[in-house]
Amino acid sequence: MEIEFDPRKDAANKAKHGVSLARTAELEILRVVEDERAYDERRFWLFGLIEGAAYCATVTFRDDVVRAISLRRASRIERKRYDLQA
């Protein structure tokens, strides 16, 4: 999957969550959930695994490209709710 992201957002994500948005491309997607909050564009949470660890990516779709907004480790509650193996 082709991933794009803002370099400043990537730096902020690394500082906050310790992971680059570029790693969203490695996500083995297990669940997709639409974020129903009001934004200018539709956003989705992608839950899945990277190297066996559970992650949550916030993304939007622009044409054929996935725009990564955030990437972080999935919480214990998310791992249980979405049956993520990690």
Digit-coded pLDDT (tens) for 6-63: 999 999 999 999 999 999 999 999 999 998 887 788 999 999 999 999 999 999 998 8
pLDDT of 39 reads: 78
* Domains along the sequence of the chain with CATH: 3-81 (3.10.450.530)
Neighbour-count burial for 31-61, b at 16+ CB within 10 Å, e otherwise: eeeeeeeeeeeebebbbbbbeeebbbbbbbe
Strands 43-50 and 53-62: antiparallel
- Going by pLDDT thresholds of 50, 70 and 90, the confidence category of residue 67 is very high
- Give every CB contact of residue 53 below 8 A, 6+ residues apart in sequence: 73, 86
The pTM assigned to this predicted structure is: 0.90
